[in-house]
A and B are shown apart, each in its own frame.
Chain A
Amino acid sequence: MNLQYSGEEIIAADKAAVWKAITDPEWVGRCIPEVVDVTVRDPTHFDAVAKVGVGPVRGNFKFRFELVPGASGDRMDMKISGGGFGSAVDLTAGADVSDAGGGQTKLSWSGQAVARGPVAAVGGRVLDAQAQKLISQTFANVRERLSRR
């Protein structure tokens, strides 16, 4: 089951501060909603355990993250694979980082998820909303944490 999402966040922080944060694996890991544990493996790879609930499938999912920062500093891509309870989820997400003026930064993000197993079986009814929430909440958390600084 393929699912696609996109959105936009305006962050009350300058582009350099945003870039610094989103290239820090520990920092990014802590933006995942309901994250339980983050283990950084190297500067661009980390593992995260997060609570996920999709219909009757609930529990901790383990994810492996790979950060792929663009050389010019205005795009960050992420590859995420993981799962739990016999389900597998592969996600790719990317965000264009641009100056929004007034000391603000714009994150234009899009994501795509492929789900397999019991998670996929609950289908569009529940999964779509949940996956969108997972991805959009992560970027919303990026905004909130940076804007609070």
Chain B
Amino acid sequence: MSIEATPKGSMGVAMKRKEDPRFLQGKGNYVDDLSFPGMLHMAIVRSPYPHAEIVNIDGSAALKVPGVKAVITGKDLEAAGLGWLPTFHGYDKQMVLAIGKVLFQYQEVAAVFAESRAAAADGAEAVEVEYKPLPVVADPFVAKQDEVLLRPDREAKTNHIYHWEVGDKDKTAQALGAAEKVIKQRIWFPRCHPAPLEPCGCVAQFDTMGRLTFHVTSQAPHVYRTAITIVTGIPEDKIRVISPDIGGGFGNKVPVYPGYVCAIVGALKLGRPVKWIESRTENLTSTGFARDYHMDVEIGARADGTVTALRVSTTADHGAFDAAADPTKYPAGMFGVVTGSYTFPVAHAEVDAYFTNKAPGGIAYRCSFRVTEASYAIERGMDILADELGMDPVELRRKNFVRKDQFPYASALGFTYDSGDYHRTLDVALEKIGYQALLKQQAEKRAKGELMGIGFSTFTEVVGAGPSKHFDILGIKMFDSAEIRIHPTGSGIVRAGTKSQGQGHETTWAQIVAEELGLDPQNIMVEEGDTDTAPYGLGTYASRSTPVAGAAIAMAARRIRERARKIAAHLMEVGEGDVEWKDYKFQVKGVPAKSVTMKEVAFAAYTNPGQNEPGLEATQYYDPPNMTFPHGAYVAVVDVDRETGEVKVRRFLAVDDCGTVINPLIVEGQIHGGLTEGFAIAFMQEIQYDKDGNNLNTNFTDYLVPTSLESPKWETANTVTPSPHHPIGAKGVGESPNVGSPAAFVNAVIDALSPFGVRHIDMPITRDKVWRAIRDSDPAKG
């Protein structure tokens, strides 16, 4: 049961989401709901070949299909200077439509425009493309050998994209050499896909004055506007980008995709609006995938379990283009958080990325740029270390945690962790899950030959990009913004540079404003996603909305409060210095009876402002001084059927610490969603390619999305360690469950299989992998 927030206190209230009545009644407004007079539809011709020369493209038969108006190819775009678009990462470019050759299966080859969606699809089928197959490289370790060069368009004649490293290589090597115990494990985080239920799409239309209105499924509409200018040369004032309701993004809707450029070109060329909505298969096969990191993890430790060094060497598969959408200076994102929650005195991490004939991406799927990979690597590594030392994994973690009194904590790989209380969060988890009783039960079951596992993940995230001195996308600094207007009768509107895709901004942003100004959150409207009205911001991904825009909103509200204080002083006929903000109203210091509410001040701002500037509004751009570092302690309890390999998740507890909680109901919902995604990644999801470069998971019968029937019952709890630098102490939470949970699931399964000496199984942990692990195990142990 939720509690409604009131003007007297909105922070921490489990208020029901304001947007839900709209969604629950089917009244959301998504891109595919839009229809405009004369609108054409676009379909894309895609390559069945992962690597092939394009010998010829013949669109003549397509043009004879009733309703088809035009066919464009890469050569057409190249002639118009639109052949390539820059990737957000900034160091590579991507073909809009294939020019000369195709580099991955399902790559965009031609675009067909027609009067209906069906005619466009028929037209796309009628386009005849002649290919000459080329050797396929579907494995980064093969790409490494440079025997087949995939990107001759690039200056460097190699498939190697970049080498990135952080930390002290020599000291780490020395420490590992001197360690009493060293574990080493290759850990692969497989290629997965965010698979938002609403795929990507857009409608491009030019008005009679040549101004483009572009409705699009974008998590970052302002960046899109700038990117469209960079690609097309259309001046930014002649572009309006609108992101309407979005049916899930999870990082998949951050990059600019070729289909968007084609739709804009079609609308310009044909003088009519053009809609493009991709299919499920197109979404899974051509838009931003996540992970595909092969990580060699080495941990050095003393015999008592004290960790002394960490080294991680990663081979990253980026696909055909480097479209990872990471901040410019961080090609491997925030992978440096791989030291996790532990006090490694030295560490070294390096990532080498390669092109392959696979779809481009490496986007931040519900994580802050490669944080999930890092978290998974260290949390698996710590379990393997505990196993080899014969220690309880809980005790190993506790022994090596950063202590509360060590914050702000400078990690060996360059981050300054803002705050945390790892011991307390773990203690809450142990108590709530009943760890000692579970251990006893596990021992009893093992004695009977039954397989039960308990898995932990005590992760630390780094979110909220970010400080502009470090982070930018396409050169644009990663600040964010808010604009608040309070109307004469005490209601208001807040606009931000973010864009909700289900996170509940319409509610949480209203709660922040309501809390700061003593107003009713029900009467604070939130508007995002329209570049004509919202202030410029970098959008919603990487758990940055609350850490960055949420801070801007609080600070803009405080600016309003300062302006309101002057008007309150005028109304109460006292000096401004005699007015204080207390109990959600202005009152004369020491005279609580003499007070005015924000509502009264708002009315006066428009009717009787005195000598003060009329009106009551403020804009705030916020450049955070540091990232925020949410953390959590997750516990999975599983039972494994030794005959079939089936894993049943009996319990899962997530104890999160995301700093100050704005709305516990929304936080819990976010955690449930992320845990379900983490569960899917751990047990059922993978974008697989065969050695010929065929994508084998092109729809929801092959790429599985769990429903409530498959999902475990989630148990949640929280601790609160506010961020010291955030105006309201909040840290962001949406991604923690996806970041933290995969390791807990896998650790639990490996724990269950420990009687067989099984050390590691790569995700997804399907029943056949478990069955094989048992079959292939040491019979003496089984």
Contacts and interface: CB of A to CB of B under 8 A. Distances in A.
Interface of A: 1-2, 56, 59, 83-88, 90, 114-118, 120-121, 123
Nearest to A83: B48
Contacts of B545: none
Find the residue from A59, A84, A90, A121 having the highest chain B CB count within 10 A: A121
B421 to A, nearest CB: 48
Contacts of B696: 120-121, 123
Interface in B71-123: 105-106
Contact of B49 (A2, A88, A123): A88
Nearest to B282: A86
B49 A120 contact: no
Contacts of B599: none
B723 interface: no
Contact of B105 (A84, A85, A116): A116
B125 A120 contact: no
Find the residue from A2, A83, A118 having the highest chain B CB count within 10 A: A118
Contacts of A1: 690, 692, 694
B492 interface: no
A121 B105 CA distance: 11
Contacts of A87: 48
B587 interface: no
A114 B49 CA distance: 11
B125 A118 contact: no
B46 A116 contact: no
A64 to B, nearest CB: 10
Find the residue from B48, B133, B693, B699 having the highest chain A CB count within 10 A: B48
Contacts of B697: 121
B interface: dominant SS: loop
B199 interface: no
Given A86-B46, A86-B48, A117 B692 contact: no
Given A83-B48, A87-B48, A88-B49, A117 B131 contact: no
B698 A116 contact: no
B762 interface: no
Contacts of A120: 690, 692, 694, 696
Interface string B16-51: 000000000000000000000000000001101110
A2 B693 CA distance: 12
Contacts of A118: 48, 281, 698
A90 B49 CA distance: 11
B695 interface: yes
B100 to A, nearest CB: 18
Contacts of B4: none
Given A88-B49, A120-B696, 7 more contacts: A1-B694, A86-B48, A116-B49, A116-B693, A117-B105, A120-B690, A123-B702
Contacts of B131: 88
Top 10 closest pairs, chain A to chain B, by CB:
A117-B48, A88-B48, A120-B694, A121-B698, A116-B48, A87-B48, A121-B696, A86-B46, A86-B48, A1-B694
Contacts of B133: 90
A52 to B, nearest CB: 13
Interface string B574-608: 00000000000000000000000000000000000
Contacts of A85: 125
Contacts of A90: 133
A84 B46 CA distance: 11
B702 A121 contact: yes
Find the residue from A85, A87, A88, A114 having the highest chain B CB count within 10 A: A88
Nearest to B695: A121
Nearest to A64: B130
B386 to A, nearest CB: 39
A1 to B, nearest CB: 6
Interface in B659-702: 690, 692-699, 702
18 contacts: A1-B692, A2-B692, A56-B699, A86-B45, A86-B46, A86-B48, A86-B125, A88-B48, A88-B49, A88-B131, A116-B49, A116-B105, A116-B692, A117-B48, A118-B281, A120-B690, A121-B699, A121-B702
A83 B696 CA distance: 18
A19 to B, nearest CB: 32
A2 B136 CA distance: 14
Nearest to B136: A116
A56 B131 CA distance: 24
A117 B281 CA distance: 11
Contacts of B694: 1, 115-117, 120-121
A136 to B, nearest CB: 23
B196 to A, nearest CB: 20
A88 B133 CA distance: 11
Contacts of B692: 1-2, 114, 116, 120
A116 B104 CA distance: 11
A33 to B, nearest CB: 22
Nearest to B44: A86
Contacts of B46: 86
A90 B694 CA distance: 14
B716 to A, nearest CB: 37
Contacts of B50: 116
Contacts of B106: 86, 117
Nearest to B45: A86
A118 B125 CA distance: 13
Contacts of A115: 694
Contacts of A56: 699
A133 B617 CA distance: 72
Nearest to A89: B48
A66 to B, nearest CB: 15
Contacts of B49: 88, 116
A65 to B, nearest CB: 16
A10 to B, nearest CB: 35
Nearest to B701: A56
B207 to A, nearest CB: 35
Nearest to A55: B701
Contacts of B690: 1, 120
A21 to B, nearest CB: 30
A59 B124 CA distance: 14
A26 B698 CA distance: 37
A85 B696 CA distance: 16
Interface in B704-759: none
A142 to B, nearest CB: 29
B57 to A, nearest CB: 14
A124 to B, nearest CB: 10
Nearest to B690: A1
A83 B131 CA distance: 12
A90 to B, nearest CB: 8
